[in-house]
A = this chain, B = another copy of it.
Amino acid sequence: MLFSKGCTYAIRASLLVTTKEIKDGRKFIPIRELSDELDLSFHFLTKIMQVLTEAKIMESFRGPNGGVGLARPAREITLIDVIAAVDGLDLFSECALGLPGCGEKTPCPLHAAWAKRREDLHRMFEKTTLAGLAKELELNALRH
């Protein structure tokens, strides 16, 4: 898999928070509500949302009417922010063959081809914002 499970859960949950914030105008969404709708473990998602909170991507609030919400406007949060917080950015800097010395000066035979593509992937995830994905989701719903 490209991302760890935790990372895909983080992306899906962030996106759900975004749409709820935009459509319902709510500031904090209970993690229980997110885990129910995404059909995944509440406790596991809690741990992941804590990581996003530490990374200043989310804000959290305890007690009744509490939950998690975006710490910044959805158009200012990119997928790279979420990926970096959960999985780190090794994927976008590592050699495809895991060779530590591989680089421009001493390339492995796959270096040129992979470096080009991993940078393209990095740029794509950097350009993709939660607001953009939410918009995309809405358009898909309309088309069905």
Contacts and interface: CB of A to CB of B under 8 A. Distances in A.
Interface residues of A, number: 32
Given A117-B117, A124-B117, A109 B15 contact: yes
Contacts of A121: 117
Which of A8, A98, A117: most chain B CB closer than 10 A?
A: A98
A84 interface: no
A2 B110 contact: no
A5 B95 CA distance: 12
Contacts of A106: 140, 144
B97 A109 contact: no
A32 to B, nearest CB: 21
Given A91-B2, A96-B2, A98-B8, A137 B124 contact: no
A11 interface: yes
Contacts of A44: none
Interface string A1-28: 1110100100110010000000000000
17 contacts: A1-B90, A1-B91, A2-B94, A2-B96, A8-B96, A8-B97, A8-B98, A11-B97, A12-B97, A12-B99, A79-B110, A109-B140, A110-B128, A110-B133, A113-B128, A117-B120, A117-B121
